[in-house]
Amino acid sequence: MVTHMATVALTSSGPENARRYREVMEQLGTEIRLLIPEDAGTRPTDVLMEGVGGLLLPGGPDVDPVLYGEPPDPSAGLETCRPLDDLELRLLHYALDRDMPVLAICRGMQLLNVALGGKLIQDLPGHRVVEQDGEWVSTVHLTYLSPGSKAAAIIGMAGFFRLNSRHHQGLREAQRSLRLMTTAYGVDDGLVEGLESPEHRWVIGLQCHPERQDEVPKLFANLFTAFGERADAFAQECLA
């Protein structure tokens, strides 16, 4: 196993929401700096990101529609956390300005789209967790990952995958930022399931939850390995 010395910034609404992401990265030898609004909200961005080699934006609450110029839909059942939005947006712009590696998952991918001028669909049926036998479980969707995308190269395979789904917001091509390219989409509904930035060396967004490693193909673990390696390389560049 390759051991990384890099520090990755992981944002979250709280420690429990960050747990799975933290465990996956720390198992790879990557040090995690957890940044939550209560602790980090008033501290300067350059202080929060000092010595950091990559930014991991995880799943979490809904992005405030005001940030993409729309009033909240009262029927959408939104659960927002504006302090988290504000923290993540300034950290993301800091990372993008420096071409720092970014891995954006679920809400993270949605925030990436909004940060670069895109919009979101405030409520989508059939994509959130469902209750089965007293437990909340992920729904599953058939997703097509494009050959030639960075994600496919990292995973080692393109084509069709059955992936987990735990969201009720998302986007189609009409909502996509013109600065991002679609790398994966839902076969049944055309929802965007993957985004990448052609302006940056390593900015990858996925709508699924690869940190829930028993719910996605094993090859998807390569995403976290590659992200840790790129974060390490970025940190070494900054020291050179």
Q: Which of 4, 127, 168, 209 is catalytic?
A: 209
- C-alpha–C-alpha distance, residues 193 and 233, integer Å: 27
Q: Which of 81, 88, 106, 141 is catalytic?
A: 106
DSSP 8-state assignment for residue 173? G
Residues 109 and 58 sit within 8 Å (Cβ to Cβ): no
- C-alpha–C-alpha distance, residues 82 and 111, integer Å: 12
Residue 211 annotated among the catalytic residues of the structure: yes
Phi, then psi, of 222 in degrees rounded to 5:
-60, -25
Specify the amino acid at residue 159: G
Residues 200 and 153 sit within 8 Å (Cβ to Cβ): no
Q: Which of 88, 193, 211, 229 is catalytic?
A: 211
Cβ neighbours of 118 (radius 10 Å): 21
Q: Using DSSP, state whether 174 is helix, strand or coil.
A: helix
DSSP 8-state assignment for residue 220? G
- Strand 102-105 relative to strand 203-206, pairing: parallel
Catalytically annotated residues:
106, 209, 211
